[in-house]
Chains A and B, each alone.
Chain A
Amino acid sequence: MSRNPATILEERNKRQRPQSGPDAVIEVEDLVTHYGDRMILQGVSMEVREKEIMVIMGGSGSGKSTLLRHLMALENKTSGTMRILGYDIDKISRKEFLEVRKKLGVAFQSGALFSSMTVGDNIMLPLYEHTDLDPLTMEIMARMKLEVVELSGFEDLMPSELSGGMIKRAAFARAIVMDPRVLFCDEPSAGLDPVVASALDDLILDMRDAMGMSIVVVTHELDSAFKIADRITILDRGKILMIGTVEEVLKSKSDRVQALLNRTPEEDVMDPDEYLDRLVGESNPGTAHL
């Protein structure tokens, strides 16, 4: 489906967007990572600025989820440098690392709410673990965050009693309960109907505007990306294809970028002999068993 850049930009301009700060909250330089022998990220360099919404896009297997896990300091890299909130994560002490972690929030694709706890307990958990607040104050703070994500009154329910959209909103509430400086969202609108997905996009914009946090979103939903992004990073086979504003991306002359925007599948030209070898398998003892 081809998108009209003018319409997309007009839609975006309906909402006033705050200016992102000049300072980078996350800086990645020449990041290389492997899973076993396979190279997943091949020299990725990027930065996320203060108060900006950075959307990471790319096709399946492009490495966007792996990049997100690196940005959250959940993976070990092969090489490269990474600074989160000014700290080089290779040189950081354990104590500093914990302090950095307290300033990060994450809303995973599945929500990742703890199924054995109520929604309220899930949201209060970071407060309970990292602050000395009394239980009543924690409850009030949890209710406030639930109000932000329009889930007030649901604090006593178990996650299994919530719908998919509600789980994602509850995950947002937990992610922002410590007022993080950086919020990570993994496929926030995946698997949701368009109305709920659009409401979540608005929520992301509201949270950035109201709380001034930097937000990193991984998504493959183009409508959502164009609506919320200040800048977009496009990954392709573990490499950065381009980083730019929505306007720059829409006007990009790159065939790969346009193919991604127009959802055109990549032509996969395969050598017939290689294909036959792969099917037969036995000719190459090193390949996986059929």
Chain B
Amino acid sequence: MAERKLSKMERVEDVGRTTVAFVESVGNGGILVAESIYWLLFGVRERQPVRLSAVIHQMMEIGVRAIPIIFMLTGTIGVMLAIQGIHTLRIFGAESRVTIGIAFSVVREFAPLITGILVAGRSGSALAARIGTMKINQEIDALKVMGINPTRFLVVPALLAMLVMVPALTLFGIFTGLFAAGLYVNADLGISLAAYAHDTIDILSLDDLGHGLGKSVIFAILIAVIGVVNGAGVQGGAEGVGTATTRAVVQSISAIIVTDMLFAFVATR
């Protein structure tokens, strides 16, 4: 059926509805974080503690199973940075200084960003799909009737696992990226791995590492909250789950990139 042309008033209404939905999502996300903190702190007192086994299970899913792909992609990014860096610096005859560019780029920018995007695509989508499917299958209702708080049971373990595993994967990505870049630099420029490592440690400060890891903590919260809010908002059947999953990935990645830019702006002032 042909789509009906919307009147100006209807367009304004659409914008209004979208704005309200966005504000509502942000509000839901805030409530979710507050509720998660509450259950984390007072769960034991309420006789509904957060189960360590559930957190470990989520850590395995989010973190350990992501190691191969993080290894492959951060390694590739490291090599790519080395290639581009050497190519650019060769113009000025300063290719031996490539270590500076690689070290700052990997630690402050690429390792956290690539890790965040990968976790959003892999685990944020899985979280949205899982919660969405549970909602349409009435599993969330079943939890409520059983007296099990869904935030405590489903969200807190995922959020905690993200908070631990995203920075851990970022750290792993930093080492992998730097190491892979070092191998290329060694092959191309003949700089030994020991000299490369020495230069890298010399250049980097704890602030740089804190910058990268600090960002990854914010990314972890964004991925978990966006995944849960989209999953919990699923309407309809399987199609609704698909839509929510796609939306969760797009929103997470967008939020990560925007946050990354804001973080870089604030941190470099």
Q: Distance (Å) between the CB of B55 and the closest chain A CB?
A: 15
Quick one: which of A107-159 are within 8 Å of B by CB? 108-110, 112-116, 125-126, 129-130
Of A101, A114, A289, A290, the residue contacting B145 (CB under 8 A) is A101
* Size class of the A contact interface (CB-based, 8 Å): 20 to 34
B4 within 8 A of A: yes
In the bound assembly, the distance between CA atoms of A289 and B1 in angstroms comes to 11
B141 within 8 A of A: yes
Q: Distance (Å) between the CB of B130 and the closest chain A CB?
A: 8
In the bound complex, do residue B4 and residue A125 qualify as a contact, i.e. CB atoms below 8 Å apart? no
Q: Which residues of B contact A (CB under 8 A)?
A: 1, 4, 7, 9-10, 46-48, 130, 133-134, 137-139, 141-142, 144-148, 153
In the bound complex, do residue B4 and residue A129 qualify as a contact, i.e. CB atoms below 8 Å apart? no
A285 within 8 A of B: yes
**Given known contacts A95-B46, A101-B145, A126-B147, what 18 new A-B pairs fall within 8 Å (CB)?**
A72-B141, A74-B145, A98-B147, A101-B144, A101-B147, A106-B146, A108-B141, A108-B142, A110-B138, A112-B142, A115-B137, A115-B139, A116-B130, A129-B146, A129-B147, A129-B153, A130-B147, A289-B4
In the bound assembly, the distance between CA atoms of A72 and B145 in angstroms comes to 7
Of A74, A104, A115, A129, the residue contacting B133 (CB under 8 A) is A115
In the bound assembly, the distance between CA atoms of A281 and B5 in angstroms comes to 12
Which A residue's beta carbon lies closest to that of B139? Answer: A112
Given A72-B145, A98-B147, A129-B146: A290 and B1 within 8 A (CB)?
Answer: yes
Given A285-B9, A290-B4: A125 and B148 within 8 A (CB)?
Answer: yes
Q: Distance (Å) between the CB of A190 and the closest chain B CB?
A: 13
In the bound assembly, the distance between CA atoms of A116 and B139 in angstroms comes to 11
Given A130-B147, A290-B4: A285 and B10 within 8 A (CB)?
Answer: yes
Quick one: which of A84-115 are within 8 Å of B by CB? 94-95, 98, 101-102, 104-106, 108-110, 112-115
